[in-house]
Structure 1
Amino acid sequence: MKKPLLLLLCLLTSTFLLAQRPSQKGVSITGKIVDAKTNQPLEYATIVLKNTRTQKISGGITDETGAFKISTPKGTYEISVEYISFKTIKLAVQEISSNKNLGIIKLTEDASSLDEVFIIAEKSTVEIRLDKKIYNVGKDMTVKGGTASDVLDNVPSVDVDPEGTVSLRGSENVRILIDGKPSALVGLSGADALKQLPSDAIERVEVITSPSARYDSEGTAGILNIILRKGKASGFNGSISVTVGDPKNYQTAVNLNLRTEKINIFSNFGYSDNGGPGVYNSDITYLSNGSIDSLRIENRDNERFRKGFNGNFGLEYFLNKKSSITGTIFLRDSDGQNISTNNISSFDPSNTNLYNSTRIQDEDEIDQTIQFSLNYTNNFNENGHKLTLDFQHSANREIENAIIIDTNPETNATNELSLDNLLQADYVLPIGKNSQFEAGYRGSFQDLTSDYLVIAPNLDPEYNPSNNLEFTQNVNAFYTQFGSKINKFSYLLGLRAEITNIDIKLINTNEDYTKKYTDLFPTLNFGYELTEDQSFTLGYSRRLRRPRSRYLNPFENRASETVISKGNVDLDPTYTNSFDLGYLNKWGKLTLNSSIYYQHSTNNIARINSQEVRIINGKETNILVRQPINLSSEDRSGFEFTANYNASKKVKLSGSFNFYQFETKGEYVYNVTDLATNVSTPVTQNFDAKNNSWFTRFDAKITLPWNIQSQTRIFYRGPKNDAQSNVKGILSANLAFSKDILKDKGTLVFNVSDVFNTRKYQVESYAPSRENPTNITDQTFQRRMRQISLNFTYRFNQKKNQRGRKSGQRENSGGDGEF
């Protein structure tokens, strides 16, 4: 009898206890988030719910109308609303037992934030900080299916010429970083490597024209910091992108991310198969005592083909709420072929044909890169007290083999291997509420070998450029900086010391070069907010430009016998003092950001044209040699502005303009040898020159019927002249249309790059000087023809253009923690 009674008692007790459990039926929380100043809805604002009993965190984000609807179990919640550069609102703790509408919640801009002063909404987002500007890639349709070069070419203040060379404010002396650090992703030859990094892997580009002491001093014009995409949304999500185009352009990009409470796995994979024609034409007029001696016409057609895979895989492990370890591995494996057919004709002064020949260069290239990165981040508290440690190792190999078919055939091969290691430590200590102290160390260590072999039986051994170069560069840097904000005035003062050791060995000629120098680089940055809509910034920094290994390697490019490019092993670094005054103003729908800048450089590195006499086809021929040298000085000043005008929800306009003036001073003395008499004659070239140039960019985004988005971009770079050349202006236009499909999970983008096929580099060069030339060269170069492409992107478990976490949350983006 006792056992049945005991069993019955247990059943009744269980039933009673179960009856006391709260109902798990969910409720809905709704509302709308708007900008308190403009009453415009804030898309992708974050609503955070924290259950006070279970401490479980959930929430959601707003849609394009600023509305949100969150399903959650009944309970008592702490509710907060967050949005980038806006003050977080925390609502009173409240019990929610039924559906609840929180109404309209208005957020105000966080004008007192030290590291986020202003933000302009949507795609053309411009964040102005005390020492940098940030341009978010966002919904830029014209770069869909493109590369990192295409992204940079659409960033205000930046220009990418037809050869792929990146310049900032008209200067090529720019440092390109990946996630705040030097990276193998930029490669041994930055222009070609950037063409292999898909645009879908890039989240934003930071333009730093007045770098703080935290950044290395490399790059006299400033720094471009490319931030790669990393998964930030909870759960498993990603996207797949496919592109087809003409000329041949097949690309696939996959982004996969998984984020939980303890780990964050992020990855980007891409495969490309590209090919297309290019043109390089050169008309050379040879002069003797001011009269035409002969003419040489070279019409070179290039066919470039490249297949490549790149992958970036990372794992972030959260040790606790304040610290994490992140490991990343990057792989790139590509191979390319470049077939150059150079049709050569020579004429006498009466235009009688002397001879014709064809020089064909068939070059194969293999580019392999592997990079490991390890990061430790410890956020001691929520006030910004932080320690980060970084280690990075990379290996980059480039192998090129070329067969040249000509009257005198030859072969050449290049094998380059670069091993790079980086150690970095950064410490940030907030002092009080509005001040901050920083200190850190960075060690960069590079070992590079380059073996260049030319086999040309008919080439005079004196002119055979075969060599084996060993290059070692070690840079140890220490920095400290202090910043504070006093009411509307803020400042950031820093000092960086760099110790550089360079060793260069030319094995074939048994030459050794050693360069050691220790330098101090002060930085000053000031900011003043007149009102919430107006602010001034003033910056000063001392910078340098170290010659890269390719600038030092004296090997010759053999695509042409008469126009030769080579390096200069005895280059010294360029030093620059840079000043920048910026102004930002917002008038309702119009935002204007402008700057005035001045730079003074000594030991300026410039590529110049000099003259040599060689025997070609049995005749003495003047050769044009292009190589870098150190000139005495360069002064550069300019003005730029960027404007954004949101006329309506369907029309958004933006434009930028940059005007700059430069003055170079210096002379170069070299000898020209008369092959008949073996007598050398010194030639003095004066490079004193003063000129100016400008470039402008206009962008229009318009919503068409059926919710089709259109984007038009027009770019013009004005003519530019220096001591030895006249460069003509370049006009180009891009056009794109996009349409969201599959309930906004998919997007189709139709893109036409260089609509009028006018992106050509045209230059007239004089050697050895304008005043007394022995040859005048007219060159036309077009690396890529008009490109038409169609891109399809499919997203799963993520919203289009989903925003990341607000600054200050647990996240490391490699350099995104500036004061």
Structure 2
Amino acid sequence: MMVNKVILCICAGFMALLPLAAQSVSGTVTDEKNLPLEEITVVALQASDSLYITGGVTNGNGEFHIRISHSGKYMLKLSGIGFQTKYIAFSLSADQKKQLGGILLKEDAYLLSGVTVTAKKPEMELTSSSTVINLASSSLGSQGTLFDALKRLPGVQVKDDGTILLNGQSGATVMLNGKPTYLSGSNLATYLQAIPASSIGKIELISMPSSRYEASGKSGIIKVEMAKNNVQGFLIGFHASSQQLDQYNKGNSNWMFQLRKNKLNVSANYSYYEGTDINPTFIVRDHTDYAETPVMPVILNQVAHRTYNYGSHYARTRVDYDLSSRLSVGAYVSKNWTDRVRKERMHSVFTSVKAEPDSTLMTWNKNKLIQTNLQGGADYSYKVTSKLQWTGSVDFQLYRASDKQDQNSLYNDYWQSNYEQTDTLRGKLRDNIDIVSTQSDVEFVLTKTLKLTGGVKASFVNIDNETTYSDRYNGAWTPKLNMNKDFQYEENIYAAYVQLQKKIAERANMEVGFRFEETHVKGQLHEYSSNRDSSFQKRYRNLFPYVSVDYNLSKTIKLNAAYGSRIVRPNYEDMNPFVTINDKYLYDQGNVELKPEISHQVETGLLFSNRYKVILFGAYTRHPICKSYLAGAGNRVWVYPLNMSSDYSYGIKMTAVNLHPTRWWTLVGNATLTYKKYAWIYDHKKQNNRVMTPLFYLGNYLKPADKWNAELNGYWNGKTPLGQGLISPMWSISMAVSRSILHDKGTIRLFLNDIVCSRYTRVRIINVEQPARYKERKEATIGISFSYKLQRGENIKSSAPQRESNESKRIKL
């Protein structure tokens, strides 16, 4: 009898538990960028009296699942720090499992002791078409300058000569606040070092830009956006940092002011950078003539010690005003002043059969660069109807540069009874570049599932460059007329595009676009030695198609496939026919006969839960522009840009972001495997440079305690081909620790770049005439920074996006 009672009690208890699992409510919580939100509090309340029933939190995918014991009417409350609280009414019938689907939470700024606080954004975000890095959320990424920040981005390689590679491929375009800019040459660092990383809000890496973007740049776009103020009030900020590099020091400071008052928005920014970079370099060149019999080995060993002393100012201001609820106007102006002194001591030693030197050359170079870059413009945005918006802009840029060179050489020939010869050279290069551009765009929502975007643009470029050299002969300076030239260049580009976005099925969207560009080029070269002029004219038209399809395989898996075509026009320095003398054995010269590169790209990818992305990609480029190395008389090498036959690449890229092994540890990772091949013709024979390149990046973001943050990241880049050069593997590890102070208004950071001094750049030149090896080393830097922000006001919606679209293309900044 007792056993029967026990069995009856167990059965009754089991039956009592059944209603607890009979009804449930579930859903997925995301932010305004469709990213899943973790640890959002979800509470079920009784609809009649708001009595607490049960609750829980969302998981790493933003999902929640709550069991409710009884049927009835309820209210779901969703809340999280930095997000607006949301209530959803629902009812449950017996045994119902209710699915609410996607639930959007909007960001919310709230007032705390006079300081506006907003939830911290994740360090990295993924979409089907891009990767977004929020520098303001990174202790390490916001340190130093924009040039330093680019080096730390996953999949981005930045060389000190200004070359930027994205996913192992050259030809990336850098955009700053909507301004497309081709940056090249050693002065790229000078321009980017004028912009503090602390003033940057986010950087977006777009591997396949649509037709609305300019067609320039074959490997994608690095889109940089300045930090914005989203409160009705003011923001005052200050940032300063100092870094120690061996016995040299460098640092930067930044002051920022932003004000929103009713319809007026004003922002101003000033920064100053000063410091010294060192660049020890080792070069080995093979001058052996293998056609001779017997073969006599001749090797040139060069050791250079270079220092770069920088002093740079950057100022920028912008004013926006809403004339009405439909019409807003804005204007901006910015200027960069840069003084850079480059000092080099190059020791060159020729050796042949013996180990002793046959001859030596000591060269001292000093270059003083003074550069100014003035930019400005005005724009407007007019919302004609709720479905039609019209935007336009006019922009200008005035670039001025003066580069003075002093060179002294001492040559010793031990085969000629210690014959000694001294040479002195003085040169000056003047660069004047004026750019004016205008554009107009419309966006028209035709139906609920169809949107049309189109626009036109025209840009006008005028260049006036002059170079003068002289050497010292019998105590007097004598012009070197064979090297003194004046180069005039004009380039006009007229463009138009149209793009359609269409929802073609319940789960599928398509984007199709075409961009047409017509380019007019005219150049004139005056040579002082012959007092004669030569000129050239070119005109070419290109059509750049773009198509992209998104398909939602499920609520958390999205498939994307895209194709696009792009162009890379020669930068102005590469087209400049002037000669630059590095030393007796190395000359640089431009090439006015360069053709533009035309590339075709295709990629397909899978995006999982906005956290994992896998992409298969391929690209083909016709006439890629690369540095070529040609042997000349007197053991001299000419570095000369030429169009190669082609290059193509294909590979796979895998990215994971916002992984949480623990509550205080966030992990991001990136891995890319790219096969790249360059092909060219030399002496009627096909030559190539082909390599499989692996790239790895791992970032660790830690929050060990309240007010404390730490970061440890590293990368490893495998062998990377670049024209006739092959870059050896390179790796680096960096770290930073930060703490909030002064009631969370200030932050102090300690950071260490390249902890183990592993960042060596080794390049092997694949040249059938004169193979060479090049090596340079960068030392570890340790630094400290302090930031302070005072912000007061109430949260408002973002105003119309900045519409700057300045055309500062291909200037060697």
TM range (shorter): 0.7 to 0.9
For the 8 Å contact 1:567–1:627, the answer to whether it is kept is yes
Corresponding residue for residue 755 of structure 2: 755
Corresponding residue for residue 180 of structure 2: 182
Shift of 1:451: 1.1
Corresponding residue for residue 675 of structure 2: 661
CA distance in 1, matches of 2:242, 2:737: 15
For the 8 Å contact 2:162–2:183, the answer to whether it is kept is no
- Please tell me the residue identity of whatever aligns with 2:238: I
Corresponding residue for residue 773 of structure 2: 778
CA distance in 2, matches of 1:185, 1:315: 27
Alignment partner of 1:709 is 2:717: no
Query: Which region of structure 1 is more displaced relative to structure 2, 744-753 or 353-362?
Result: 353-362
Corresponding residue for residue 320 of structure 1: 324
RMSD: 3.3
Corresponding residue for residue 505 of structure 1: 524
Corresponding residue for residue 236 of structure 1: 234
Indicate which of 296, 312, 317 corresponds to 1:308: 312
CA distance in 1, matches of 2:258, 2:136: 18
| Count of residue correspondences | 691
For the 8 Å contact 1:123–1:137, the answer to whether it is kept is no
- Please tell me the residue identity of whatever aligns with 1:443: A
SS at match of 1:216: coil
- Please tell me the residue identity of whatever aligns with 2:284: D
For the 8 Å contact 1:35–1:107, the answer to whether it is kept is no
For the 8 Å contact 1:568–1:628, the answer to whether it is kept is yes
Alignment partner of 1:470 is 2:488: yes
Structure 2 length as normaliser, TM-score?
Answer: 0.79
Query: Which region of structure 1 is more displaced relative to structure 2, 590-599 or 330-339?
Result: 590-599
Corresponding residue for residue 786 of structure 2: 792
Structure 1 length as normaliser, TM-score?
Answer: 0.79
CA distance in 2, matches of 1:542, 1:524: 10
Indicate which of 203, 206, 209 corresponds to 1:205: 203
CA distance in 2, matches of 1:791, 1:201: 14
Instruction: Spell out, residue by residue over 1:180-213, the C-alpha distance to the aligned partner (whole angstroms, 9 max, x if none).
Output: 2335999995443223222122212222222111
CA distance in 2, matches of 1:167, 1:797: 37
**1:60-459 to 2 correspondence within 5 Å?**
108-109=102-103, 122-128=121-127, 131-182=129-180, 189-247=187-245, 248-289=249-290, 291-381=295-385, 385-406=388-409, 407-457=422-472
Corresponding residue for residue 738 of structure 1: 738
- Please tell me the residue identity of whatever aligns with 1:466: N
Instruction: Spell out, residue by residue over 1:600-640, the C-alpha distance to the aligned partner (whole angstroms, 9 max, x if none).
Output: 11122222222111xxxxxxx32222222112222211111
- Please tell me the residue identity of whatever aligns with 2:300: R
Identical aligned residues as a percent: 18
CA distance in 2, matches of 1:85, 1:596: 36
Instruction: Spell out, residue by residue over 1:722-760, the C-alpha distance to the aligned partner (whole angstroms, 9 max, x if none).
Output: 784443111111111111111111001111112222222
For the 8 Å contact 1:35–1:42, the answer to whether it is kept is no
Q: 1:763 to 1:87 in 2, by over 3 A?
A: same
SS at match of 2:149: helix
For the 8 Å contact 2:619–2:650, the answer to whether it is kept is yes
For the 8 Å contact 1:219–1:545, the answer to whether it is kept is yes
CA distance in 2, matches of 1:308, 1:787: 20
CA distance in 1, matches of 2:187, 2:526: 22
Corresponding residue for residue 696 of structure 2: 696
SS at match of 1:550: helix
Shift of 1:708: 2.5
Instruction: Spell out, residue by residue over 1:325-377, the C-alpha distance to the aligned partner (whole angstroms, 9 max, x if none).
Output: 11111011111111111122232321122233321111111110111121101
- Please tell me the residue identity of whatever aligns with 1:549: Y
Corresponding residue for residue 643 of structure 2: 630
Corresponding residue for residue 52 of structure 1: none
Corresponding residue for residue 494 of structure 1: 513
Corresponding residue for residue 558 of structure 2: 535
Unmatched 5+ stretches in structure 2: 1-27, 42-61, 63-76, 90-99, 106-118, 410-421, 806-813
CA distance in 1, matches of 2:120, 2:268: 27
CA distance in 1, matches of 2:186, 2:765: 28
Corresponding residue for residue 19 of structure 2: none
Corresponding residue for residue 639 of structure 1: 652
Shift of 1:764: 2.4
For the 8 Å contact 1:185–1:194, the answer to whether it is kept is no
For the 8 Å contact 2:674–2:692, the answer to whether it is kept is yes
Alignment partner of 1:550 is 2:573: yes
CA distance in 1, matches of 2:760, 2:655: 25
Q: Which has the higher contact order (CA 8 A, sep 6+)?
A: 2
CA distance in 2, matches of 1:427, 1:515: 31
Corresponding residue for residue 55 of structure 2: none
CA distance in 1, matches of 2:253, 2:358: 50
Unmatched 5+ stretches in structure 1: 1-32, 44-65, 67-79, 93-105, 112-119, 614-620, 669-682
Q: 1:741 to 1:480 in 2, by over 3 A?
A: same
Instruction: Spell out, residue by residue over 1:765-790, the C-alpha distance to the aligned partner (whole angstroms, 9 max, x if none).
Output: 243x1xxx4x33221123x4322111
For the 8 Å contact 2:161–2:188, the answer to whether it is kept is no
Q: 1:791 to 1:498 in 2, by over 3 A?
A: same
Instruction: Spell out, residue by residue over 1:686-709, the C-alpha distance to the aligned partner (whole angstroms, 9 max, x if none).
Output: 323432212111111112346421
Corresponding residue for residue 101 of structure 1: none
CA distance in 2, matches of 1:315, 1:187: 33
Q: 1:110 to 1:594 in 2, by over 3 A?
A: farther
- Please tell me the residue identity of whatever aligns with 2:790: F
CA distance in 2, matches of 1:82, 1:634: 52
CA distance in 2, matches of 1:470, 1:803: 52
Q: 1:654 to 1:38 in 2, by over 3 A?
A: closer
CA distance in 1, matches of 2:743, 2:482: 63
